[in-house]
Chain A
Amino acid sequence: QVQLVESGGGLVKPGGSLRLSCAASGFSFTDYYMTWIRQAPGKGLEWLSFISSSGATIYYADSVKGRFTISRDNAKNSLFLEMNSLRAEDTAVYYCARKPPTDAFDIWGQGTMVTVSS
C-alpha cells in the first residue's frame, strides 16, 4: 500500500544537527513532489520545504532557510531533511508528505519527533 515512513528523529542539543529520512513505498516516487511539515507540541501545522520530482525546484519557509536542506534519492525512493543549527523552537513532530505537482498533500507519514534541548 501507499506508505511514507519517517525516521531519524531524537534528542539533540541546541546548535546541533540531525538528518531525517522518509522512505516511500507503494507508488511511483518520481511522479511526485515531496514536502516536509512540522508541528510543535500543542500547536498547528507549519510547512517547511518542498522538492520537485527531479529535485530541480526547491522552496523553503523563511524559518528554516539557510539551516535546513531538503533532498531526495529517487533510486532509493527516499526523501531527506538535513537540519543544522537547531534551536529549541525547532522542537516538533516532523512529517513528510506526498504532493502531486499541482495538488495538495495527499499522503502523510506518521511523523518523527525532534526534541532540541540541553
Chain B
Amino acid sequence: IVLTQSPGTLPLSPGDRATLSCRASQSVSSSYLAWYQQKPGQAPRLLIYGASSRATGIPDRFSGSGSGTDFTLTISRLEPEDFAVYYCQQYGSSPLTFGGGTKVENK
C-alpha cells in the first residue's frame, strides 16, 4: 500500500490550525493507520494509532480522522514545539509502509 502525504511542506505560524493529508493506494484494513512526529536528530514519536486514537501523553490538540483510503491529522493550534516532520504509516498489511512525510515549518 502506497501512502501519499500532502502537502510536502506546510508553512504556518504558532496558533494556526494544521491539516495534514495521507491518501492510501488501497483501503487500509481496520483503520490500521498511525501518525508519527519527528524532530531533527530525534527518533519518531507515535502520535495517533487506529486512525483516531491518541497515544499516551499526546496533547488533545492533535487529532486524527478518516477511514478507507483518506486520513487526516489535525493540529488545532500550533505550539512552537509542533514544528516538525509528520509521517503517516499503515500497519494493517505487509509490507508495512510509511508516507513520504509533511514538514510543518514556521512561517
Measured CB to CB, the residues of A under 8 A from B are 35, 44-47, 50, 59, 61-62, 95, 99, 102-106, 108-111
- Known contacts: A59-B94, A95-B43, A108-B43. The answer to whether A103 contacts B101 by CB under 8 A is no
Asked if A44 and B49 make an inter-chain contact with CB atoms under 8 angstroms apart, the answer reads no
Is B87 an interface position by the 8 A CB rule? yes
What is the minimal beta-carbon distance from A35 to any residue of chain B, in angstroms?
8
Give Cα A106–Cα B97 distance, bound, in whole angstroms: 16
Q: How many A-B pairs with Cβ below 8 Å?
A: 56
- CB-CB nearest 8 A-B residue pairs: A104-B34, A108-B43, A104-B49, A47-B96, A59-B94, A45-B98, A44-B101, A61-B95
Q: List B contacts of A50 (CB < 8 A).
A: 96
Can you sample 5 A-B contacts with CB below 8 Å?
A44-B98, A45-B36, A45-B38, A45-B44, A47-B89
Q: List A contacts of B43 (CB < 8 A).
A: 95, 108-111
Chain B contact residues, majority secondary structure? loop
Measured CB to CB, the residues of B under 8 A from A are 32, 34, 36, 38, 43-46, 49-50, 55-56, 87, 89, 91, 94-101
